Amino acid sequence: MQPACVPLCLIQGATYRDTLRLSQPTLVYKAIQSIPAEAPVRLVVPDHGLAADWPVWVRGVAGMQDINREPFKQRPWSAKWLDADTLEINALSAVGLKPLGGQLIYQAPVDLTGCSARMQIRDMPGGQLLLELGTAPGQGLTLEPAGTLRREITAAQTGALNFTAAVYDLELTFADGTVQRWAEGTVSLSPQVTT
């Protein structure tokens, strides 16, 4: 597997938080049963198969062209999980429309049950270690079983960094002992402004 190339932009002395969604390469297709004419948009998709908020595409809905997006050609919608049969897309309203049909499409989440993760920031590939995060309590990385990884670098940690260019890598160790580099990239550091 080729790791995702995702740049990391930090501000010295500021807390950094983000969420990564780790997904399988294959697509899952589910029929949309209904889209009520309300805001925000709710997709009723019996047994949609998601366990948390997740990026999704929608294809083939009649009566609401704005909701349709092609996988990998357009950005996915951020869908909020409401229950096992319902997702919400807060960015859209179906009020006054009569949406009909269509498909929900998404990449299945990676099962992170029993996994651990490690992220290292170095001054250059294989160079001096500047910061390391892990999944032990308080180490900055949190894994959720349904493909979600949350990162937090504290204000104290970013305040202690001082570089012009760096790189990072993020590795996952699965329950069976398999280790995969999931993401890597450059790290930029915006200096703290002092007055």
Tell me what pLDDT residue 145 has.
Answer: 87
Q: Residue 164: which pLDDT band, with cuts at 50, 70 and 90?
A: confident
Are 121 and 9 contacting, i.e. CB atoms less than 8 angstroms apart?
Answer: no
Beta strand 179-190 with 4-5 is parallel
Question: Quick one: CA dihedral 42, 48, 52, 57, positive or negative?
Answer: negative
Are 67 and 41 contacting, i.e. CB atoms less than 8 angstroms apart?
Answer: yes
Secondary structure string (H, E, C) spanning 91-151 = CCCCCCCCCECCEEEEEEECECCCCEEEEEEECCCCCCEEEEEECCCCCEEEEECECEEEE
Distance between CA atoms of residues 136 and 124, nearest Å: 25
- pLDDT tens-place string over residues 105-119: 999 999 999 999 999
169 closest CA partner among 127, 125, 119: 119
- Model-level pTM? 0.85
Contacts of 188 (CB under 8 A, 6+ apart): 7, 8, 9, 10, 165
Tell me what pLDDT residue 194 has.
Answer: 67
Tell me what pLDDT residue 44 has.
Answer: 98
Average pLDDT of span 150-158? 97
Are 12 and 190 contacting, i.e. CB atoms less than 8 angstroms apart?
Answer: yes
Contacts of 114 (CB under 8 A, 6+ apart): 174, 175
Question: Quick one: CA dihedral 84, 85, 89, 95, positive or negative?
Answer: negative
> Is the pLDDT score of 128 beyond 80?
yes
* Count of helix runs (H) and strand runs (E) in the chain: 1, 15
What is the average pLDDT value for the chain, to the nearest integer?
95
Distance between CA atoms of residues 58 and 66, nearest Å: 10
Tell me what pLDDT residue 185 has.
Answer: 96
Percentage of the chain with pLDDT > 70? Answer: 98
> Is the pLDDT score of 79 beyond 90?
yes
Domains of the chain: 4-22+112-190 (2.60.40.10), 24-108 (2.40.30.180)
